[in-house]
Chain A
Amino acid sequence: MSRPFRRDGEQIVVSLSAPERAAIAALPEVIEAAGDADGRFAYQAHPDDPGAARRYQELVGEDLASLRAADRAAFAAALGADSLDVELAEAFMRVVGEARIVLASRLGIEEDGWEESASIDDPEIAMLHYLGFLQNALVEVLSNPE
């Protein structure tokens, strides 16, 4: 696979092919459709203190949902772009990460080492690996400003 992202000053240049862009276009919908049946996104800052958990949820619960929705909107807007600013690239990276979490949940992945027994012939496993490749590429360009 060719290098999907490279840094150009403050911009992240995107070199995704049309088929690659098409393959990931539905990620926001995949995340939204999955909901949170297994509670992976039901983050608990205070798992052993119901009172504190309620207060924390009231404080940031809606905010987190809004941030996640804003990331998905940013991803959709960025999908056709040839370059992204850093903020947009970070939102793009978070959506790719969330999609990996959703796919892994659907596949029943709960332990480290799943890669060793996973079949690359499974389309969802293949997508999980591809999204990992994209996320790692974004980490590299966002970690190296020059």
Chain B
Amino acid sequence: MTAPLTRPVDEPTVDETYESDRPWQVVVWNDPVNLMSYVVWVFRKLFGYPVEKATELMLQVHHEGRAIVSTGPLEKVESDCHRLHHHGLWATLEKT
């Protein structure tokens, strides 16, 4: 549930359109359980990456601990993040 609006209606506010259009990025974090082959499959399935790109991202996650797998406006990356969570991958969002 959201909190009730308490500020005056004419108070200057952040430009929400601008905020929601700011590019965001989805970060996938390494975990010791998910199979490398499965992670590659997930990246191909969810983002349509060719196997080479998906493998490169998986290896970056494995060796560096994290990789940026998609970018875009908040609505898009939240959807991406949700689908990654549904597939058991640990993903978070960051502003670029």
- Cα A140 to Cα B91 with chains together (Å): 24
Interface residues on B, range: 20 to 34
A68-B86, A100-B34 given; name 10 further pairs at CB < 8 Å.
A43-B90, A45-B91, A45-B92, A64-B86, A90-B45, A97-B35, A112-B62, A136-B38, A139-B37, A139-B41
Which DSSP category, helix, strand, loop or mixed, fits chain A's interface? helix
Query: By the criterion CB–CB under 8 Å, are B32 and A64 in contact?
Result: no
Binds B, one of A2-10, A11-19, A51-59, A76-84: A51-59
Chain A: minimal CB distance from B52 (Å):
13
How near does chain A come to B25, taking the closest CB pair, in angstroms?
Answer: 12
Q: 12 interchain pairs (CB within 8 A)?
A: A43-B81, A43-B85, A45-B78, A63-B82, A67-B86, A94-B87, A97-B35, A97-B88, A109-B33, A136-B37, A136-B38, A139-B37
Interface centre among B37, B88, B90, B93 (most CB of A within 10 A): B88
Tell which of A59, A60, A94, A110 touches B32, judged by Cβ atoms closer than 8 Å: A110
Q: Is B44 an interface residue (CB 8 A)?
A: yes
Give the interface of B toward A (CB within 8 A): 1-2, 30, 32-35, 37-38, 40-41, 44-45, 51, 62, 78, 81-82, 85-88, 90-93
List A residues at the B interface (Cβ < 8 Å): 43-47, 55-56, 58-60, 63-64, 67-68, 90, 93-94, 97-98, 100-101, 104, 109-114, 132, 135-136, 139-140, 142-143
Q: Which residues of B sit under 8 angstroms from A64, Cβ to Cβ?
A: 82, 85-86
Cα distance A101–B33 in the bound complex, in angstroms: 6
B93 touches A94 (CB 8 A): no
Instruction: Give the chain B neighbours of A135 by CB distance below 8 A.
Output: 35, 38
